Amino acid sequence: MAKRKVNIGGQILDAEEISFQPDSENGGEQWSHYTLLDGTSLRVKAVLMNVLRIDNAYAPNGDPLYSVNSSIVVASSSPESLRKKE
């Protein structure tokens, strides 16, 4: 696992890149579903790009601190009344 520098709150900290894989027990990356008041259906999920464990940094309960880079994926389906007319 590669060592890297990460900027958190203006501080440059040492971190270690941690490999990961989606949780296959729960079907991998999960979609959250939302229905907007205009009738649009949204599906949203976060896709992890990389995970860094910050060296010598811990939460109050003793767990190590992580920096996570992710991308948000959004899929929508709107009613015909909201769609562009050609």
Cα–Cα distance for residue pair 56/46, rounded to 1 Å: 27
Q: Where are the alpha helices (DSSP H) in the chain?
A: none
Give the pLDDT confidence score for residue 22 in this predicted structure. Answer: 79
Question: What's the number of domains the chain is made of?
Answer: 1
Give the pLDDT confidence score for residue 27 in this predicted structure. Answer: 67
Tens-digit pLDDT profile for the chain (86 aa)?
799 999 988 999 999 999 988 777 766 778 999 999 999 999 999 999 999 999 999 999 999 999 999 999 999 999 999 999 88
What residue numbers bound the domain in which 47 lies?
3-82
Rounded-to-10 torsion of CA 16, 17, 19, 21: 120
Give the pLDDT confidence score for residue 42 in this predicted structure. Answer: 97
Indicate the SS3 state at residue 30. coil
